[in-house]
Amino acid sequence: MANRDLISASIDIAAPPEKVWSIVSDLKRMGEWSPQCRKMIVRGGEVGVGTTTINVNRRGLLVWPTRSKVKVFEPNRELAFRVVENGTVWSYELEPTATGTRLTESRRAPHGVKKVSNVLTNSLMGGTDDFETELQAGIESTLATIKSTAEAS
């Protein structure tokens, strides 16, 4: 089955964009929000365009590393990084609202996912459809956790 070009969800958060930004731009804390990406190791100094990370992902007993590079870093607006191994772009977009912030998390694969990634997904993770359904649920879970964190502090 072909990969979806876009997997995305949004959530409204009762906190200003600056507060939400401080959470999503702290990539070292990604493992606190994401059910799949258990850890992001930021290489170098402060996060910005060009920053690279090593990511530790987990699904059940299966653990695998990926690498990513920050492509967009616009404080209080957007953070996006491209995963080297599969070519997908993950982003967090912040939009001010009357009551706080609308946060959208997306995984884009406008040119598809690299073949090696699809082979591994099909052989180890139950196939592309199941994995992408799981990614959708993971995005929704991540957003809910970020919302709880932002609204609690």
Domain map of the chain by residue range?
6-152
| Nearest to 104, CA basis, from 6, 26, 3 | 6
**Any residues with CB less than 8 A from the CB of 38 and at least 6 apart, and which?**
31, 56, 57, 58, 63
Residue pLDDT tens, the chain, 153 long: 556 778 899 999 999 999 999 999 999 999 999 999 999 999 988 999 999 999 999 988 889 899 999 999 999 999 999 999 888 999 999 999 999 999 999 999 877 665 656 556 555 565 566 777 888 999 999 999 999 999 997
Q: Which residue is associated with the tokens 């609308």?
A: 102
Q: Residue 2 has what pLDDT?
A: 59
The vertex-2 CA angle with 114 and 143, nearest 5°, equals 80
At 35, phi and psi to the nearest 5? -75, -15
Q: Residue 119 has what pLDDT?
A: 57
The vertex-98 CA angle with 96 and 102, nearest 5°, equals 40
Pairwise CA distance, residues 148 & 44, whole Å? 29
Q: Residue 26 has what pLDDT?
A: 96
Fold annotation for 6-152: Alpha-D-Glucose-1,6-Bisphosphate; Chain A, domain 4 (3.30.530)
